[in-house]
Every structure is written in structure tokens, then in C-alpha cells.
Structure 1
Amino acid sequence: MTNAYIISGLITLCSMTLPITASAKDLQDTLFERTYTSVSKGVNTPIRAFKDHPLYPYLEYEKLLRQKTSEKKLQEFVQQYEPSLVADRAWRKWIHFLAKNQRWETIIREYQAKRASTSVKCHYYEAHINAGNKDLAFEEAKALWLSPKSLPKKCNSLFSHLKKDVIQKDDYWERIQLAASKGNISFARTLVKHLPDDEQNIARQYLAAHQNPKNALRSKHVGKGTYSRKVIGYAIKRIARKNYQSGYKTWRKYATSHPFTEEEKGDIESYLGVRAAFNHDADALNKLARIPAIHRSDDASVWMARMALRQGQWEQLQNALNSMHHDTQKRDIWRYWQAKTHDKLGNESEAMLGYADLAKNATFYGFLAADHLGVDYSVLNQEPKDWKQAARKIKQTPGLKRASHWYNMGRDGMGNREWLWTIKHLNKDDQLAAAALALELEKPLLAVQTVAKTKDWNQVDLRFPVLYNKLVKELSSENKVNPAWVYGVMRRESAFNTTARSGANAHGLMQLLPSTARDVGRKLGISRVSKSDLKSPRLNIQLGSAYLKSMLDNFDGSYVKATAGYNAGPSRSVKWTPKSAIDADRWVESIPFTETRKYVRAVMAYTTIYDHKLTKGRGQRISDRLSPVGKRLVN
């Protein structure tokens, strides 16, 4: 008797003799997991014994993939199991099958944008082309084609239509530039052959400029024409990326000798100005302000605002705010600084309106706005909602039941995919109930991700659980550091995931690099710290809180500098510090690294929230923790 039939017999016996208890569920899931693994490998395994298991559609789907597919089988599977993640996968297979068999009218009739992958979109646009609806299809398909990376092979047929009837050489140039901007040079090279022969050498120099910009500028193929100016502009940007002063020097040479348009000048000077601002060049603000607003990039206007903040130039800040794109102006960061600009320029009523709009939010800017108004953090004083009943109800949602079974088997990746698919199809109240359920399942990161789908950042209790409370309090006290700050860092770094590992190889709750952990460990008398040791909450929090304390001591009690140092390294925090003291909120906005800038804002806000939770509403105001940043104090 084969293992497959033994498993089948066991699950049948289990379902006949065992009551529905936790142990019975565990056994059923264990047997299911073995069967699923077997079926996924193509083994002819009986599956009918699992007919009543919530994950049974996955077995059917794996079987379906390994059979000779037909339109009828795929359609029947979709109809039987939708709405579900696995039905969506089968639906995409069905659309691929229809495209292969040129069933264009059926594709148009059955298409659903929310289910569509990139390759399915390609089939849909091709279906419209074959049905005679070319104008709409070409417009949408061209937007899809203009991608900085290679697209699925299933799109090749659609793109053949585009290349024949729509795509021009300027479109190839645009895509080459897009690909280069994302570092996809190898892919960009595949596009060059589609250009006219006399432009291919220029395009190759454009791509060569990515690594060797000075050599590209010396090429005999680079003249003064439109495409040569693209090469020059890109080469100057690549030079400026490493050394902005060299970038400006090179630009001065070419700006006067080549017929750059005003738009081209604005693009190059915007990039150079941003690089100067990154390096806190004293003249960066003036450089950016000299660019006509109509030709200044939105990124350049943003950095003009940041440099105006750093230098306390409020009228220049107002000019920068006025020149930003409308969507940029609506972000809470620039709404806050618009209110503060009104405040500084004497428009008190406008300032108060701006602060009042922000003060109701549990965010960095919301807390700062409340401090300007002198009002309580009202969102932190709301009575927590009891989610138990809603969580019990939402637990019965089929998709969340399936996710729960995957988690029970230790297949967190499968569980997360099922969970995230399910919550996309829930209303806001049910999504919040699902977040509460995630906390019950001891999956705080999943709870955070679930609340994020609602964009309700004021769900403080769901977004900021108090976990490892005893450990955090004990080890924070041992290292003489505020436990709320430790929580703020932990929530931002790992969202309480003990096994979290970043792309930079940081490990555990507070995301320590192994080298940092070893250095801190030696200072604490811990002779050996391995990567696996960092999965221990106690050791990780002990080392992380000790490292935080060292940052705070090195930066003379400055929470923002210490937090920036924890994220980007202490030497960078030193480098970014001005000689003359400025307000901490202004300093934070001038941090060059986007990740670190967002990190400091988040940690300061999270620290305020956890301080409120740990002290039962008697926490420190955020402004009291934001001491001015000035003279470089570091040991």
C-alpha cells in the first residue's frame, strides 16, 4: 500500500472517530499538508477524503494543473470556488487558455480588472484589437508597454501589434531612459536595436553614461542634437550623483556651448539642486530658487522647501510650497509646514485652521499640531473598542479560515497570501475586526498590515499592541532608557516579529546587525552572540535597548539624532547636524535619506503613543522630546 493511500485512510478514520477538537484539527491539517505536498509534486494521490477540509480547493487546483486542461474544466473550477484566491489563479489560467485559442470575445466578456495580472491585461487589450476596438486598446497597451523592466512573454503578441502600428522611436527613447533610471541597463540595451541606425550609437553612449559618464561625454557620437543632449544631461546627473560639485562644473561647460531648451535646463538644474541639497550645500536653496517654477521638478520644489526649513527662510518656503504639485501639497507633511509658515508670516487664523485639521491624527505632524494649539492628544484618550465579538464573527470568513489552517501547518507564506487576498474584499469594519483577530493569533505584523488597508491611522490599539511588556520594562530599566522609545523603535523595525530579517541582514525585534550585536554584547560582558541568538526576545531587546542608550548618550540626549543614528549609523547623524541650533522638526525634514527621515518621524510618533499607553495617559508631549539640534556633540 502506498503512502498516499495510507494518508487517505488515516484522514478518513480521523474524521469518523475524532470529535472536532484542537488535536483533531492539528492531525487533519498535518495529513492535509502531507497530501498537498505530494499532489504538488505530481504524485497521483487520492484527495477525496479531504472534501470537507477548508483548503480542499487547493488540492483540486494542483490536480487541475497537472491534467490536460480544457476551457470547461477551468471555467467550472472558477465558478465552483469563487470568490477565493485559488479561484482567481484558475481564472487567470482560463484567460491564458482562451488567448491561446484566440477566444477574443469570451475574454472581453469575462475580463475583470481587479483579478488581472499584467499578462492577463495584455490578453484583454489584444482581444480588443482583434475585435476592432483599436484606439482604446492601443492607448492602454502603450501605457503598459512603457515600463522600465521586461514584461511577461505572454505580452509579446500584443506588443507586436503596437510596434507595427503605434510605437515610434521617441517611445523607445522614453523607455530606454525609464529603464536606465531604475538601473535596468541590460534590459535597456535590448531596446536600442529598435532605434534608427544613426541613433543606436548615441543610445549606447546614453547607457554607457550610467557607469562611465565622463567617457560617454568624450564619445565622437555625442554632438549637439536632441538625443546627444539627452546623453549629456544623463551623464551630468550620473557625475553629480557621486560629486554634485563636479556635476555643476560639467554642466557650466555644456550649458553655454549646447542649445539646451529651457525645459532641458530645468530638468538638469533641478537634479543638480537636489544633489546639492542632499549635501546641505549652503547655496542649495538659492540654486533651486533660481530655477523657474514652471521648469523646476516637483522633487526640486520639495528639496527647496526642505532647505528653506533648514535655513529658516519662511518666504522661500512659501514659494516652494506654492510650486509643488497639487497632490504633494495635500500630504500631511506639507499641510503642517504650510500651517507653520502661516504662523511665522503672521497669518495666525490660517495657521490655526491648518493645525486644527491635523491635530486629530495620531501622527508625527498631528501631535506637533496639537502642541502648537496647546490641546490634548484627543485620539489617544478615546475609549478602546472591544473587538472580541467582531473578531469571533470575522474568524468564520472562508478566506480567513483557510489562512488559519495554513498557519496551523506552519505555512505562513501561504497563510499570508490567503489573508491579504481576503481582507482586500472586506469592508472597513470587517478589516478592522480581522486586524483584531490577527492580534489574537499573535501575528502583530499581520494586524498592522491589515489596518493599513483601511488607511485609518488612528486605530491606535490595533496598530500599537503592548507586547513583551515585562521584558521591555525590565531591560529598559536595566539600560536606563525610556521603555516607550524601545517600543517605538521595535514597532517600526520589526512590528514584534522575532524572526524578521532585513535586506541589510538586521535580525529580530529591534533589527540588529550581527556586527553591532557583537560589539554591544562585548560591552555588556556577553562573550558570544550568534545570528540565531538574536531570535531570543530577551537578548535582542537587551542588546537593542543598550545600543539605543549609547546613541542617546553620544548625542547629548537628542532623541531625533539618536534615532537617526540607530537607523543610518551615528557618523551620518553627525554629518547631517548643523553648526547652529535649529528646531528638531526642521532638522528632521532636512535628513537626506528618505528612509531615515520617515523612520525618525515614525519612531517619535510611536514613542509618544507608547508613552501614553505605558503611563495611562500621562505621557510626555512630543515637542518636549524634540530638543533643538545644533553643535555636533559626539564621543
Structure 2
Amino acid sequence: MIFISRILVFVCMAALGIMISAPIHASGLEYKRRIFILAEEALGKGQRQEYQARRAELGDYPLLPYLTQQDLEKRMNPGIAGEVRSFLRDYDGTPPAEALRRPWLVQLGENGQWKRFVEDYRPQSDENLQCLYGQALLNSGRRSEAMDQVRSLWLSGSSRPKSCDPLFEAWIKSGGLTRDLTWQRIELAMQKGQAGLAQHLRRYLGPGDAQWLDYWLRVDRQPSLILERDWSTVTHDRMDAILAHAMHKMTRADATRAAADWDDLRRRSGLDRARFAAIENHAVLYMCMRFEPGALVRVESIPEDLRSDSVREWAVRAALRDQDWPAALRMLESLTAVQHEEPRWRYWKARALQESGRDREAREVFETLAGGQDYFAMLALGHLGRPLVVQHDPLTVSDEAVRRVGELPALQRAAELYALGRYGPARREWQQAESDLDVGDLSAAA
């Protein structure tokens, strides 16, 4: 589906290149594209006079905002704050404005211009900017709002930028860091393989907890250590996480052996099977994914109410790979009610029935699939010996709607970027425009 969506985006933009050519004078487009590139090159070489001359030739060319963005970024300093802020205001929400906003915010943060930072900030995915925003709120007297930002920044398995440190320090001093939040971040770090970060976070634990973290770090280096311990009397609340971490590492090395070791440890320590079902499922899942001998036997040893959805599906795949049709039917029957309704599993049930000589039952399942419009419906039609029928409902769009959509600046920019072979920026412009269009306008754009 993602691949098809991308094709549609490019098809739509190619169509836009034709559709919008009239409103922006097609006869001069090729010329202006060349001038645009020359202006960019002059700007990149620092040939300001040449750049300004080329820019003047562009008139109202759709990609002019991209030149302005590059120019302002190249000249970025506090002295042009007015120009930068005007551009951000005029093109708020557009890709060129957001591309300029990021370095602008960094500069505001470096200069401690916190009030202006808050005014010019928009939600960002960049962690450094998120932390600078928290600092800006903190230094603008909006402490409560700043503290509201911290929890989501804290809960990461990776080290955060240094810009987060002042924010974290203020939060910790105010009593925001709890034991549970410390352990949550340690778990995230261990899951990401960031043992160094987990070690760094040790300072926030009490003595008893610190000992358990030390043990976990040893287990990270040597997972089999958990097999030497009696867990029947352990009550620490991170016991489950430590066991899961060790077993996951052992599973990646040898899933069949890990499953056997887990059975032995669980029985010796009297561990509740339901409580630790995720560990068992993980080991058995890897056995199925690697098509290891005995995988299906292990699947069937897990009570159905404890099997994960992933194990159920991969058990079917393992049986199909072995062409073990009786096992495939058993595994298909063990799917959840929701999984049973998925076309792919209905199709493979029909195939397994067919290969088992149960043609009438197989045909009944194929019949239920054949009325659909998906890939498995087409396969079902083939098995039923029927021709493929593709339903086509042509779009009806008025010339006025096409004209109106063709005049949208974002779509004009998308078409020009596409014409220049700049597919990434073109896609971003299209996606931005798409989010602002209603169903009728989307049909016109397509």
C-alpha cells in the first residue's frame, strides 16, 4: 500500500505539472526553472549581486519561497530577525518556512532569546529543539508548562541532547523524578542496548535498587546468569524485566535451547506460566520464524489462551512452509476470531483444505473470498476458474474544481519541484497540501 501511495503521489504531481501550467504561463516555465537554478548556484557561491539579478527575473515563480529560505538561512544573524520572522509568518506551515524555522530556533536558543523562541516555536520532532523549548518556557516564567514537557522527553532509551540537562535538573529539583520513572527509563535504555545510559541513571536509585541494576548489567553481558538463580523468593518489581531481557538475548542466539532453558527455569523456580507467557511466546516465535525443527510441537504445548497473535500466525507459516497440511489446518483453527476474518488466512485455509482432498469445503471458502476486491479475491477467482473482473468507477470532476486546485500555491510548488527532479521536497509539498484539501478537491488534484 505504501508503494502504491507513493506512485499515486508522483502520478498526481506529474498531472499537476500539466494542469497548472496555464495559470502560471507555461511558455516561460522552462526559462524560469533555469533561472531558478542559476540563482541558487549564485547564492551558494556567495555571488550576491548575480543572485539578486537572477531572482528579479523570476517574478512570481512558485519556488521563490525556497530561494528566500536559502538566502535567509545563509545570512542568519540577529540583525535580520525582522526578515526571518516575516517569512515565517507569511509562509507558516509550509516546507520552506519550517526548514528555516529550525536553524532560527537554534540561534534564538544559543542567544538566550527565550521569549522570542516561545513565540516562533512550532511543534518539532527534533529533540534538541524540544528541550530548548522547555528551557524557553522555564526562562519565560512559564515553569508549569515547562515541567509538563519533561516526562515525554525523559522517557527515552537514548541519551538526550545537552540542551535537555537544564530542564531535567529543574524537574529533578522540583521532585518530578520518581523511582518508577527512573526504572522506566532504565528499562528503555536496556531494551535499546544502551547499557551505558542505564549505568548513568544508577545515581538516581536507592542502594537496594542499585544492586539490582548492577545485577541486570551483569546479566546483559552474560544472560545465562539467570539460570543459576532461584527466582522463587524474588519479589523485586523489575524481576520480570530482567528475566525477559536475558531470555530475549538467549533466544536470539539459539531459540530452541532458550525455550528449553526457560521451561527448566520456570519449573525449578515455580514461576507462573501466565505471568511470564510473553517470554515463552517470544522464544517459540523465533523458532517459528527461523523454521526450526520442533517449532510446531512447541506452539501446541502453549495453552491456546496464552499464545500471542504473532505466534499463531507464524505457526501457520511454518506449517505451510513444510507443506504439512494437517498441521496448517490445526494452526489456522487456533487463530483468533479477528485473524480468522482476514482474507489471507481464509485463502490459506481454502488451500490447506484443497491439498487435504476436501475440495467441497475449499470451494466454499474460495466462494466467500471471490466477491472481494483484494489480492486474495483474485487468487480465489483463479482457483474457481473464473475471469478477473475489475470494477472501474470514473471520477467526475468539474473544470472549475481543477482550475481552483491548480491555483493552490502548495500544489504549484509541488509540480515545479517534481519538474526539477526534487522528489523529496515535492512529496512534502504534496502531503502538506493534501492535509488541507477536502475530498472533492483531492479528486480534482488527482
Structure 2: distance between partners of 1:42 and 1:219: 72
The yes-or-no answer on 1:59 pairing with 2:70 is no
Q: How does 1:279-294 map to 2 (within 5 A)?
A: 279-293=290-304
Match of 2:277 in 1: 266
Q: Structure 1 399/208 Cα, relative in aligned 2: closer, same or farther at 3 Å?
A: farther
The yes-or-no answer on 1:360 pairing with 2:360 is no
Match of 1:399 in 2: 410
Unmatched runs of 5 consecutive residues or more in structure 2: 1-25
Q: Structure 1 331/64 Cα, relative in aligned 2: closer, same or farther at 3 Å?
A: farther
Contact 1:317 1:341 (C-alpha < 8 Å) held by counterparts: no
Match of 1:276 in 2: 287
The yes-or-no answer on 1:149 pairing with 2:164 is no
Match of 2:335 in 1: 320
- Per-residue CA deviation, residues 136-181 of structure 1 (Å, 9 max, x unaligned), is 985x863554334344555555545655544433444343333444
Match of 1:300 in 2: 311
Structure 2: distance between partners of 1:423 and 1:262: 49
Match of 2:223 in 1: 213
Contact 2:313 2:335 (C-alpha < 8 Å) held by counterparts: yes
Secondary structure of 1:378's aligned partner: coil
**Under a length normalisation based on structure 1, what TM-score does the superposition of the two structures give?**
0.50
Secondary structure of 2:335's aligned partner: helix
The yes-or-no answer on 1:168 pairing with 2:178 is yes
The yes-or-no answer on 1:377 pairing with 2:385 is no
Match of 1:233 in 2: 244
Shift of 1:264: 4.6
Structure 2: distance between partners of 1:236 and 1:202: 17
State percent identity of aligned pairs.
23
Secondary structure of 1:257's aligned partner: helix
Shift of 1:272: 1.2
One-letter amino acid of the structure 1 residue matched with residue 178 of structure 2: Q
One-letter amino acid of the structure 1 residue matched with residue 294 of structure 2: D
Shift of 1:224: 4.4
Shift of 1:401: 3.4
The yes-or-no answer on 1:32 pairing with 2:39 is yes
Match of 1:80 in 2: 90
Shift of 1:68: 0.6
Secondary structure of 1:320's aligned partner: coil
Shift of 1:34: 1.0
Secondary structure of 2:276's aligned partner: helix
Task: Give the root-mean-square deviation of aligned CA atoms.
Answer: 5.2
Match of 2:268 in 1: 257
Q: Structure 1 347/303 Cα, relative in aligned 2: closer, same or farther at 3 Å?
A: same
Structure 2: distance between partners of 1:260 and 1:69: 67
Q: Structure 1 391/160 Cα, relative in aligned 2: closer, same or farther at 3 Å?
A: farther
One-letter amino acid of the structure 2 residue matched with residue 176 of structure 1: I
Secondary structure of 2:62's aligned partner: coil
Structure 1: distance between partners of 2:382 and 2:153: 46
Q: Structure 1 180/52 Cα, relative in aligned 2: closer, same or farther at 3 Å?
A: same
Q: Which segment is superposed worse, 268-277 or 29-38? A: 29-38
Structure 2: distance between partners of 1:158 and 1:350: 63
Contact 2:182 2:204 (C-alpha < 8 Å) held by counterparts: yes
Structure 1: distance between partners of 2:79 and 2:183: 41
Match of 1:462 in 2: none
Secondary structure of 2:78's aligned partner: coil
Unmatched runs of 5 consecutive residues or more in structure 1: 1-18, 437-635
Q: Structure 1 80/296 Cα, relative in aligned 2: closer, same or farther at 3 Å?
A: same
Contact 2:105 2:129 (C-alpha < 8 Å) held by counterparts: yes
One-letter amino acid of the structure 2 residue matched with residue 319 of structure 1: S
Structure 1: distance between partners of 2:105 and 2:341: 40
Shift of 1:77: 1.9
Structure 2: distance between partners of 1:188 and 1:42: 51
Shift of 1:133: 6.4
1:245 paired residue among 243, 256, 259: 256
Q: Structure 1 118/30 Cα, relative in aligned 2: closer, same or farther at 3 Å?
A: same
Contact 2:224 2:246 (C-alpha < 8 Å) held by counterparts: yes
Contact 1:342 1:351 (C-alpha < 8 Å) held by counterparts: no
Secondary structure of 1:231's aligned partner: helix
Shift of 1:418: 4.0
Structure 1: distance between partners of 2:127 and 2:343: 33
The structure that is helix-richer by fraction is 2
Secondary structure of 2:271's aligned partner: coil
Shift of 1:370: 3.5
The yes-or-no answer on 1:68 pairing with 2:78 is yes
One-letter amino acid of the structure 2 residue matched with residue 213 of structure 1: P
Structure 2: distance between partners of 1:53 and 1:384: 33
Contact 1:360 1:378 (C-alpha < 8 Å) held by counterparts: no
Q: Structure 1 340/256 Cα, relative in aligned 2: closer, same or farther at 3 Å?
A: same
Shift of 1:266: 0.7
Shift of 1:86: 1.6
Q: Structure 1 382/278 Cα, relative in aligned 2: closer, same or farther at 3 Å?
A: same
- Per-residue CA deviation, residues 204-232 of structure 1 (Å, 9 max, x unaligned), is 55455556434676799xx9454455434
Contact 2:381 2:388 (C-alpha < 8 Å) held by counterparts: yes
Q: Structure 1 276/83 Cα, relative in aligned 2: closer, same or farther at 3 Å?
A: closer
Contact 1:92 1:116 (C-alpha < 8 Å) held by counterparts: no
Q: Structure 1 58/293 Cα, relative in aligned 2: closer, same or farther at 3 Å?
A: same
Q: Structure 1 133/414 Cα, relative in aligned 2: closer, same or farther at 3 Å?
A: same
**Under a length normalisation based on structure 2, what TM-score does the superposition of the two structures give?**
0.66
Q: Structure 1 106/22 Cα, relative in aligned 2: closer, same or farther at 3 Å?
A: closer
- Per-residue CA deviation, residues 78-125 of structure 1 (Å, 9 max, x unaligned), is 221234212234456677759965549966xx9866x76556666479
Shift of 1:28: 0.8
Contact 2:266 2:272 (C-alpha < 8 Å) held by counterparts: no
Match of 1:450 in 2: none
Shift of 1:75: 4.2
Structure 2: distance between partners of 1:249 and 1:315: 23
